[in-house]
């Protein structure tokens, strides 16, 4: 499930990646939560939960410099009490250039919007996914999903002077972050459905 992330400075997007011990874990961007330790998660049905930011990569605040390479650490893991939403499977290989993808998020107060595009490029040694799917302010932290329903990236930033030049932290970078912080097991808890286990992914 995709959710809206409300912070003291504004709002962005996030998505459920797993459940454990009656808790739900949600992925978003570091630049969405910034220095907030507590945020609000708003679900499509209008319900709300208070969330706690539990992990971000080292150098996650480098996004403020605005260079593409600085966004590879633009990740934040949020935890809430209770089981909410369905976890999205994360693809364990980078998507192929030219593949169809959709972006889901909350752009410019139009909550839970879906746009479509393709993977336009793989950048920064496989750590960033370039896409032409329409991305706007508020999409940050939402998932970029392939046609099999797997997350291939975490929507991170746009280049405002160039239409259709948008970027997401790649799924392989995301999985490495989760494994490094001891949260890789969250994906192991997912049912082994055919979309996640398909060797072509």
- Enumerate the active-site residues: 31, 74, 140
Residues 152 and 62: their CA atoms lie apart, in Å, by 22
- Which of 28, 17, 11 is CA-nearest to residue 111? 11
The answer to whether residues 18 and 187 touch, using CB atoms and an 8 Å cutoff, is: yes
Positive or negative torsion for Cα 152, 153, 155, 157: negative
Residues 16 and 158: their CA atoms lie apart, in Å, by 23
What is the bridge-based pairing of β-strands 128-131 and 100-105?
unpaired
Residues 6+ apart with CB under 8 A from 12: 4, 5, 28, 29, 31, 32, 33, 105, 106, 138, 139, 140, 141, 142
Residues 131 and 119: their CA atoms lie apart, in Å, by 5
Helical H runs in 114-199? 171-180, 185-188, 194-197
């Amino acid at each position: 499930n995709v959710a809206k992330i409300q912070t003291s400075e504004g709002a962005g997007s996030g998505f459920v990646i797993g459940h454990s011990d009656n808790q739900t874990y949600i992925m978003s961007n570091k630049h969405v939560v910034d220095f907030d330790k507590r945020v609000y998660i708003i679900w499509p049905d209008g319900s709300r939960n208070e969330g706690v930011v539990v992990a971000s990569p080292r150098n996650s605040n480098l996004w403020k410099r605005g260079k593409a390479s600085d966004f590879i650490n633009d990740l934040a893991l949020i935890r809430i009490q209770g089981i909410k939403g369905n976890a999205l499977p994360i693809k364990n290989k980078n998507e192929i250039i030219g593949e169809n993808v959709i972006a889901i998020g909350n752009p410019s107060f139009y909550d839970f919007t879906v746009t479509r595009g393709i993977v336009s490029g793989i950048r920064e040694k496989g750590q960033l996914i370039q896409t032409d799917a329409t991305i706007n302010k508020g999409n940050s932290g939402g998932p970029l999903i392939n046609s099999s329903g797997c997350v291939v990236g975490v929507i991170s930033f746009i280049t405002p002077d160039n239409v259709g030049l948008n970027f997401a932290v790649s799924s392989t970078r995301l999985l490495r972050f989760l494994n490094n912080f001891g949260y890789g097991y969250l994906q192991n808890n997912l049912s082994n459905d055919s979309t996640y286990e398909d060797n072509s992914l």
